[in-house]
Copies of this chain bind each other. A is one copy, B any other.
Amino acid sequence: MDQSETLAPSRADPAADAPLNVMISKLSRRASLTPADMDAIQALPVSVRTLESATYLVREGDPPDMCSVLISGFVYRQKSTGNGDRQIMGVHIPGDLLDLHNLYLDLADHSVQMLTRGDVGFITRARMQALMAERPNVARALMIDLMCDASILREGVLNIGRRNSRTRLAHLLCEVAMRLEAQGLAGEGGYELPMTQEQLADALALTPVHVNRTLKSLADDGLITRSKRQVTFPDYERLREVGDFNPRYLHLQHQRTGALAE
């Protein structure tokens, strides 16, 4: 497999040498990949670009041609109502596949946008489809990833639909904490969440003003500490309770997903 589409990696950045490592490590967490599978992924012609905050990766209504993988930074997906109200449907962290959704669909049904500056690896749809055809095991891993994304989305529906602002916010904080931790990017003690309160509001289906008050209420109760965008959890256990957070839906434990299972 040629690497002709790969941009010359800058020697300074370790991720640039093997930009898809972070994705492999994510997929491996929930599905077993053989060394050959991993090699096949590594061999994928990937073009890595550094994108500024707020850059669109996919715009609702566009015909998607690429598949992308987040290498560093944060991304969110989003869609808007007819009168312009925005809803953020999910936040992505390094390792996440960003638009597997569009792999077989004509037109993007939602937008994907950089939340911070970061590096994104682009792979053509055709390449990705070819990989899946050649390596059913990789195809399975990708499907599992897709299914887990859907599960996270379902929890999001529950969160927005049936929990009050405090619980809702606490739940989001716990989810991001656990996902970052699973990816080896943060501990349970806290992390930097690079979202403005307005973005948090759009993710939680609240108002920025109300997010501010809810944040304050959590802080007043000693459940979180904030300085700038850094959030720390003095008592993660209690925050989990307040956030009604049961991580089952993240499917971070895998048992049946072995390479040759069933």
Q: Is the CB of A150 within 8 A of B146?
A: yes
What chain B residues lie within 8 Å of A163 (beta carbons)?
81, 85
Assuming A109-B251, A129-B262, is B150 touching A205 (CB within 8 A)?
Answer: no
Q: Is the CB of B162 within 8 A of A109?
A: no
Number of copies: 2
User: Is A101 part of the contact surface with B, judged by Cβ < 8 Å?
Assistant: yes
Interface size on A, residues (CB 8 A): 60
Contact residue among B89, B104, B136, B253 (Cβ-Cβ distance under 8 Å from A106): B253
Within 8 A of B (CB), among A79-122: 79-83, 85-87, 89, 101-107, 109-110
- Between A80, A103, A104, the greatest number of chain B beta carbons within 10 A of the residue's beta carbon is seen for A104
Q: Is the CB of B262 within 8 A of A101?
A: no
- Closest CB in chain B relative to A46 CB, distance in Å: 18
Q: A residues engaging B (CB < 8 A)?
A: 31, 61, 77, 79-83, 85-87, 89, 101-107, 109-110, 125-126, 129, 132-133, 136, 139-140, 143-144, 146-151, 153-158, 160-163, 167, 205, 244, 246, 248-249, 251, 253-257, 262
Pick 5 A–B contacts, CB within 8 A, sort by A.
A79-B154, A101-B150, A104-B143, A132-B136, A149-B150
